[in-house]
Structure 1
Amino acid sequence: MYSQILKLRERLINDGFESVRDEFHDGNSIFAEDLGYFSGFKMVYDFENVVYSTNINEVSQPFRTQFGYHVVKVFDKRKTRGEVTIGHIMTSFNKNDALLNSEDRINEIYNLIKQGENFENLAKQFSDDANSAKRGGKLNPFKSGDLGSQSFENAAFALNNMGEISKPFKSDFGWHIIKLYEKKPLEPFETLKHKLEIEVKRDSRSERINTALINKLLNVYHVRYDNSDLSDFISTFEKNLLNENWNLTFNLSQNKVLFKIRQNEYKYTDFVEFLKESEKRNLEKKELDTYVSSEYKAFINEKILSYYKDNLHLENLEFANTIKEFEEGLLLFELMEAKVWNSVKNDSIELMKFYENNKSNYIFKERIDAIIARSSSEKTSEYLQKLWLKNDDIDIIKKELNQNGRQNVLFTKDIVGKDHSIIPEGFNFKKGVSNVYYHNDAYYVIKVNKILPKRTKTFNEARGIVVSAFQAQKEVSLIDSLAKKYKIKINNNVLNNIKTQLLSH
């Protein structure tokens, strides 16, 4: 593997990234990927550390992480861009609208914005991102690397003035127009300090904290890695120890103490048992004294951390409470996984039974297959209605109404219910061309081609909400059973004390 990564490094230097990617990337054992820009805590620490230490246009030496061997080429570095809050209107590549492709539709919407129409209203009516559409297109604040779409992030961070709106642009998900609401630079270190400390503790770089803790405990407990008794210990090994013929028989006193932590003694026999376990995971051949010294250090580290954890109530109360909270959280997660999530996922018969018993909750209300015409002008909509009553050809009507570069009317074809944001309140489902309706600061004329009666959703149509509802029922049943089994008693004195402290702040 190492020789292979060395050869790939040479090819990367001589032939360039694109050539190596095209020839060797298989998505299985060899990955050659453009990672774009990323910031701290987005990658494992060993990977991140090498990338940040490599200069622009240079290729790193091979290095190893838990995922395998790597070489990286750094194309660019830049300071953090801070955080932005934006709204967007998206037209998906997988649209239901048969009248237009996503690029044509986004350009029509952009024309409406240029003509002075409200961005948020257009997002509610036409954006294919259902989650943000109901909020007028607004997204949660994000930083570089948060969304996984470099083209989208670049467009968002390119906006500088509050209320500024981008031109249409393409991402992997569809076409977008975005509006800037807020842009924040990097916050001061003192503001971020607590958050960074939490990130470090959750990250693989916490191993450095672990090492620092061990070094501190070595001093506190007066334990040393160097031990003169190890020489006697090593001499008792048979010469073929490292040739996979393990014979850990000792003539030395079995009860001889190697080191102490407070009142706890660790003897030859304890180290022997540790080595027997080590045999299974460490068959790499080394010099005998080097091997034993390395394992002795690992043995001390394990025992010193184990003692510290077991005595946290004496050593560090705050840390003890944190560990307890973490362990209880894991227990809760494992309980929910076993009793709820996996149960729902694996029990297809019970899931189908739940669907059959609750069919009345999974209903398509009456819907229409319709073409919806929208305009900002009442006069244009009235004229459109007259044209539509005489002529069914949408293309002819478009040419008649959308002239001189103006987007006077926008057409949408879809299957919708009365609760859809594009349908005016009080609209009567009736085949044919409707009257003109005022809705969402615009005028609508709707041609109903077909009325689809109320019906029950099939299992596949309702599967997502069925699974969610079944999980919710399982969770309620689990909590009820636990409440019956375990008595909960509230310490009102402590509760009142906490309330008093919160109110004082």
Structure 2
Amino acid sequence: MNMKSVLFSAFLFLIAFSSVVAQNDPVLLTIGNENVTRSEFLAVYNKNNVKEEPLNEENVKEYLELFINYKLKVKEAEALMLDTSKSFKNELAGYRKQLAQPYLSNREVTDQLLQEAYERSKWDIRASHILVKVTLNSSPADTLKAYNKIMDIRKKLVAGGKFDEIARKYSEDESAKDRPGRDASTTLKGNGGDLGYFSVLNLYYEFETAAYNLKVGEISKPIRTPVGYHLILVNDRKPALGKVQAGHILVKTVPGKEDSIKARIDEAYKSILNGEDFETVVKNYSDDKGTVSKGGMLPWFGSFRMSPAFVLPLYTMKPGEISKPVETDYGWHIIKLVDVKPIGTFDESKSNLKTQIGRDKRSFIARDKLVSKLKAEYHFTADEKVLKEIVPLITDSIYSASWLVPAGAALSKTVCTIAGEPYLLSDFANYLVHKQSQIKQGDDKYTFVKTLFNQYSEEMIIEYENERLEGKYPEFKALMKEYRDGILLFDLMDKNVWSKAVKDTAGLKSYYETIKENYKYGPRAEAAIYTCKGETELKALQKLLKKAPKKGYTPETISSMLNKDTIPAVTYQIVKVEKGVNALVDQTPWVKNQNSVYRENNEIKLVSVLNLLNPEPKPLQEVKGLVTAEYQNYLEQQWVKDLRNKYSWKVNDEVLKSIYVK
């Protein structure tokens, strides 16, 4: 078989295949030059069929009419080029960024991190550490030097050295050592490496993971974090404290007066044991000026960054209980536990944990997994030899974030490829200029370049994937089309229907005249409701009301005749109401000139029926909201009618029938 025969056979196969696809998914609707297939319509129908209505002729045809209207409106928006406006593009880009997120992260890893964080949140860890500093961009020689140093320290610990003593002597975390206080006479005592209690998302992920995997009393191997190498000793592990609200009495430490300070806190505690109110003891003894006026109350807090001695009693206390005096670096405390918010269920904690993980470096784990997958999928390559060519061009000005790419530098070589597409060294050099502030004084330039190149290649491959989401994921493409059409439709509906109905006051008034009979009052009574100062004033009012029909007295006339003093003897209000609106009018017989007296809560009221009103249309102002909504529906119907005449459209009845006939 020659090549021409092979190509012709392939061509016939493609025609046959296309024919099969067309038969399996025929065109249901054509609007202009756009075809809507049976499956596309059904996908939209099923998505919006939240009540799970049966797929019968009535429901399908009813929804098809709405679908045609929807498509015609979108067609009009496109004809008006609304999809080319800057505001539309910006809004759609904003939605796309949100919708793309699940496709640009490893959802399985994200879920694992979320579950891991929740499980860890159930426990508080107390740990000590020894730190040897070294940055992530240090040279290989400096990194090795730091590693050897931390290993030498570990040997001392394994040989039986006390952790706190070794920490005070060798740790580069300054809080481990004694250091001068605020004035020359005081010394801040070092913590010997003791970090106190902490929980999930309080410390570096690498540190946290090591601590949660260690047993109490166990010392870790060197753990690398962005600040250096750590040796970690877990001192304690407790069920999580959660968040607590507590009050305290503080008697501050005063150097040289330790005995009197202890005697004062003991005296305060004795007062509580003798039944004195906690808040009163706070006022009499506490040196914490910030909480004295609040009864000693502190803001809600957890275990992290609290003195271990202060937080330790809280693990076994119940709300309302008061601790014995406990000593911290600040002085002596008596603590009252007021309330506790324990760790919630996974569903209760999920949203907050997800937000925190998103801000934490551990979120990069999911990103790294995705990047590895994409690099394999798109056959990513990198040329380290080409990358090294930029290093001699980098001067020390990079440490002050002022380095610029030298003019005329030869940077046209390909430093990496994604799916065969080249990325030039010049592209990376420009990226380096914008990201150079990440380097720290003393960092090794080449190590920094490699770190930044990894960052650059990750961003480029995710950007490459992002640009292809619509072609790669049909459901994402459909979702984006739905959002696109929705934004276009909203803008056009607002212009032609919603805002128009509100702003077109003349049109609204004219439309009201055509439908006002639909908004009628029922039978109403017009009544005057009088309030009398006392029985004498009531009798005088009743006397005048008897004469009113003949004399033609109005409520205003009667009021002026009775009110001769600065304090009114009688007040009144006139109402026009249907049944069920005013209780007093409802109780009064609806007969013209009927007067009924009501006494309640030391008030004397008289209802006088002035007129009986026949049903009549309510004024526009009273029913404006309802009329506006009806006017909007009218405008939309007229607009859709025009669109159906403006654009050509056709339904394939046979395909339509195949949807609901089984």
Smaller-chain TM-score bracket: 0.3 to 0.5
Name which one, 1 or 2, has greater alpha-carbon Rg.
2
Q: Which has the higher contact order (CA 8 A, sep 6+)?
A: 2
TM-score between the two structures when normalised by the length of structure 2: 0.37
Question: Per residue, is there more helix in 1 or in 2?
Answer: 2
